[in-house]
């Protein structure tokens, strides 16, 4: 599934937070790594220094890898997000690994805005690595690893499952455990004058409890079926049914599990889609130290 990984860099240490991820994924899955540095027309005199920097980073990735890794670099001229998207499509890249923040000292940093544009427009899966926690344990030194997979019952959300199998299956990330997560949102209380209120056979509190219990049962059965599919492929997996607003509950769960990577689709039913697009997504990237692998379903 993954054959070629693109790692955009801007020369900053913050952007280099992605390197442990690139090393681990490339070493475990046999992925070729392409380091891409985008320069402007007016910086041609610095290109030899940039080439030396790219070679230096390539050596960092190769050092300590579990198996030999093919790493090469490229230098292009243009606007960062445009060149990343163009390069990924032309070179048939399977995965883009990018820091969600870039040059230090800037609230909306260059690499941060670039990551957002790449996320919105890329057809390729994008692994966003938050750089807001500089003292966090590097990915390749995590004592345990969990892949948290938010699902909402839709086929679109389930398009992440082949990627989960690749990452957690035989030959994938070592010690990776999969956690399937689905949230049950309590029904919204109707307004006082709503016709629904007079037709309600139960007290609203009883009705809400009944609907939540029904959702939990359906969700448990739904996640259980997916569990069985993954277990049949030798993947260690468990499920969690949460109660509350989907985006809030997923974030709260992730915050309690620091050594985890979120794997999710860019579209889903209400609540989950907002994790990727809009202000909620930006708040997540700033507020948590967990990486997010974003999958865009084909043709969506």
How do beta strands 237-243 and 126-129 pair?
A: unpaired
For the chain, how many residues are written?
Answer: 300
The segment with the largest mean pLDDT, out of 97-106, 252-261, 264-273, is 252-261
Q: Which residues are 239's β-sheet partners?
A: 180
The model's confidence at residue 33, banded by pLDDT at 50, 70 and 90, is very high
Can you list the positions of beta strands (E) in 192-283? 237-243, 260-265
Does residue 130 sit within a domain?
A: yes
Residues 69 and 148 in one domain: no
What confidence tens digit (pLDDT) does each residue in 210-264 have?
888 999 999 999 999 999 999 999 999 999 999 988 778 888 898 898 888 989 8
109 touches 103 (CB < 8 A): yes
- Per cent of the chain over pLDDT 70 is 78
* 102 — pLDDT class (breaks 50, 70, 90): very low
Residue 116: predicted pLDDT = 79
pLDDT at 271: 40
Given 115, 139, 163, the domain boundary residue is 139
Residue 300 within any structural domain of the chain:
no
Q: What is the pLDDT of residue 154?
A: 83
Both 125 and 169 in one domain: the answer is no
How many other β-carbons are positioned within 10 Å of the β-carbon of residue 268? 25
Is the pLDDT at 273 greater than 50? The verdict is no
The verdict on 183 and 125 lying in the same domain is no
Residue that the structure tokens 């990452």 belong to:
167
The residue assigned the tokens 């997923």 is 250
Among candidate residues 186, 7, 15, the one with its CA nearest the CA of residue 88: 7
One domain, residues 123 and 153: no
Query: How does DSSP classify residue 160?
Result: G
**Residue 224 belongs to some domain of the structure:** yes
Query: What pLDDT does residue 119 have?
Result: 82
Tell me whether residue 261 is in a domain.
yes
Q: Say which residues have a Cβ less than 8 Å from residue 191's Cβ, sequence separation at least 6.
A: 197
Structure tokens at 60: 């960092």
φ and ψ of 187, to 5 deg = -60, 145
Both 57 and 151 in a single domain? no
Q: What CATH number has the domain bearing residue 16?
A: 3.40.50.620
pLDDT band, very low/low/confident/very high, at 31 (cuts 50, 70, 90): very high
Do 187 and 214 form a contact (C-beta atoms < 8 A)? no
- Tell which phi-psi region holds residue 54, choosing left (phi > 0), alpha (psi between -120 and 50) or beta: alpha
Measured distance CA(238)–CA(232) in Å, rounded = 13
Number of domains the chain contains: 2
Express each pLDDT in 107-156 by its tens digit.
444 446 788 788 888 889 999 888 765 556 767 777 778 999 988 888 88
Nearest-angstrom CA–CA distance, 271 and 37: 35
The residue that leads in pLDDT, 192 or 184, is: 184
Percent of the chain residues topping a pLDDT of 90: 32
pTM: 0.84
Q: Residue 22 falls within a domain, yes or no?
A: yes
Whether 199 shows a pLDDT value over 80: the answer reads no
Whether residues 171 and 281 share a domain: the answer is: yes
Q: Which of 117, 139, 161 is the last residue of a domain?
A: 139
> CB of 31 within 8 A of CB of 95?
yes
- The whole-chain average pLDDT of the chain stands at 80
Residue 26 vs residue 171, higher pLDDT: 26
Q: Which domain holds residue 54?
A: 4-139
Q: Are 254 and 290 in contact (CB under 8 A)?
A: yes
Say if residue 107 is in the same domain as residue 245: no
Residue with tokens 């990018």: 98
Out of 6-15, 51-60, 71-80, 229-238, which region has the weakest mean confidence (pLDDT)?
6-15
Classified as helix, coil or strand, 166 is helix
Whether residues 67 and 160 share a domain: the answer is no
Which long-range contacts link 272-277 to residues 24+ away (Cβ below 8 Å)?
272/150, 272/152, 272/157, 272/246, 272/247, 274/247, 275/150, 275/247, 275/250, 276/119, 277/120
* Residue 106: closest CA among 179, 31, 16, 14: 14
Q: Read off the pLDDT of residues 43-63 as tens digits, 9 standing for 90 and up.
A: 666 677 888 989 999 998 888
| Structural domain ending residue among the three candidates 139, 169, 194 | 139
Token readout for 274 is 């907002």
């Amino acid at each position: 599934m993954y054959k070629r990984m693109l790692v955009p860099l801007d020369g900053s240490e913050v952007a280099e937070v992605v390197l442990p991820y690139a090393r681990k994924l490339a070493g475990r899955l046999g992925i070729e790594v392409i380091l891409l540095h985008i320069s402007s027309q007016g910086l041609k005199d610095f290109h030899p220094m940039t080439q030396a920097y790219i070679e230096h980073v390539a050596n960092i990735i190769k050092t300590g890898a579990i198996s030999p890794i093919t790493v090469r670099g490229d230098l292009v001229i243009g606007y960062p997000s445009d060149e990343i998207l163009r390069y990924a499509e032309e070179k048939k890249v399977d995965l883009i690994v990018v820091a969600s923040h870039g040059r230090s000292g800037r609230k909306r940093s260059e690499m941060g805005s670039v990551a957002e544009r790449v996320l919105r427009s890329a057809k390729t899966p994008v692994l966003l690595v938050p750089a807001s926690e500089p003292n966090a344990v590097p990915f390749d030194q995590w004592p345990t690893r969990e892949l948290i997979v938010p699902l909402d019952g839709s086929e679109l959300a389930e398009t992440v499952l082949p990627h989960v199998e690749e990452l957690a299956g035989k030959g994938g990330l070592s010690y990776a455990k999969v956690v399937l997560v689905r949230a049950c949102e309590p029904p919204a209380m109707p307004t006082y004058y709503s016709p629904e209120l007079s037709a309600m056979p139960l007290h609203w509190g009883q009705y809400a409890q009944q609907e939540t219990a029904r959702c939990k049962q359906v969700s448990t059965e739904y996640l259980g079926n997916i569990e069985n599919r993954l277990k049949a492929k030798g993947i260690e997996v468990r499920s969690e049914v949460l109660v509350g607003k989907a985006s809030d509950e997923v974030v709260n769960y992730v915050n309690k599990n620091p050594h985890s990577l979120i794997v999710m689709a860019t579209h889903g039913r209400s609540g989950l889609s907002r994790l990727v697009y809009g202000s909620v997504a930006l708040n997540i990237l700033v507020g948590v130290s967990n990486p997010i692998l974003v999958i865009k379903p084909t043709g969506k």
